[in-house]
Chain A
Amino acid sequence: MTPDIAQALQDCCDSANRPSAVKRLRELMERVLIERLTILSVDRDFIDAAIEETFLSFAASVDCSVQVNWLAWITATAMSVLVEHTGNLSWLDKFSNRLAAGSLRERRALVFGSILALDGHCQWALLRAIPSVLYRFLVGKCEAQLNERLAELVNHGL
Chain B
Amino acid sequence: MSNSYKGWELLYQMPGGTKDPFQDPYGPTSECFSSNDVVRMFELGALSRDVSHLSRCKECRERVERFGEVTAPELAQSMYRSVPWWRKASQGFRTPQPAFAALASPQTLVYVPTTCSVNLAQGSVDTIRMQLITRRVDDLRRCTLRLEGPVTANAGCLVAGSEPYPWVEFHNVQASDDVIRELRLHNRITELVFLKVGETEQRLCLKGTSNIEFEGI
Interface residue ranges, A against B (CB under 8 Å) = 1-2, 23, 26, 29, 31-36, 38-39, 42, 44-45, 47-49, 52-53, 55-56, 61, 64-65, 67-69, 71-73, 75-76, 85, 99, 101-103, 106, 110, 113-114, 116-118, 120-121, 123-124, 127, 149, 152-153, 156, 158
Inter-subunit contact A67/B9 (CB<8 Å): yes
A144 → chain B closest CB, angstroms: 15
Evaluate whether A71 and B20 lie within 8 angstroms (CB atoms) in the complex, with A32-B35, A34-B70 already known: yes
Instruction: Select one of B8, B26, B28 contacting A69, CB under 8 A.
Output: B8
**Distance between Cα atoms of A153 and B9 in the complex (Å):** 10
B78 is an interface residue with CB less than 8 A from chain A: no
Contact residues, B31-88 vs A (CB, 8 A):
32, 35-36, 38-39, 43, 59, 63, 66-67, 69-71, 73, 80, 85-86, 88
B146 → chain A closest CB, angstroms: 24
Inter-subunit contact B22/A117 (CB<8 Å): no
Inter-subunit contact A42/B36 (CB<8 Å): no
Q: Give the size of the chain B interface in residues (CB under 8 angstroms).
A: 53
Inter-subunit contact B94/A72 (CB<8 Å): no
Evaluate whether A69 and B63 lie within 8 angstroms (CB atoms) in the complex, with A49-B93, A64-B2, A124-B27 already known: no
Inter-subunit contact A153/B93 (CB<8 Å): no
Inter-subunit contact A72/B6 (CB<8 Å): no
Evaluate whether A153 and B10 lie within 8 angstroms (CB atoms) in the complex, with A69-B17, A120-B27 already known: yes
B187 is an interface residue with CB less than 8 A from chain A: no
**Distance between Cα atoms of A84 and B93 in the complex (Å):** 12
Evaluate whether A35 and B39 lie within 8 angstroms (CB atoms) in the complex, with A23-B85, A52-B89 already known: yes
Instruction: Point out the residues of chain B lying under 8 angstroms from A149, CB to CB.
Output: 14
B157 → chain A closest CB, angstroms: 30
The contact sample of 24 A-B pairs, CB cut-off 8 A, is: A23-B85, A31-B43, A34-B70, A34-B71, A35-B38, A36-B21, A42-B66, A42-B70, A49-B94, A52-B89, A64-B4, A69-B18, A75-B21, A102-B4, A102-B7, A110-B11, A113-B7, A117-B15, A120-B29, A121-B27, A127-B26, A153-B7, A153-B11, A158-B7
B19 is an interface residue with CB less than 8 A from chain A: yes
Instruction: Point out the residues of chain A lying under 8 angstroms from B12, CB to CB.
Output: 67-69, 72
Instruction: Point out the residues of chain B lying under 8 angstroms from A153, CB to CB.
Output: 7, 10-11
Inter-subunit contact B11/A113 (CB<8 Å): yes
Evaluate whether A101 and B4 lie within 8 angstroms (CB atoms) in the complex, with A38-B63, A72-B12, A85-B93 already known: yes
Inter-subunit contact B11/A35 (CB<8 Å): no
**Distance between Cα atoms of A37 and B8 in the complex (Å):** 20
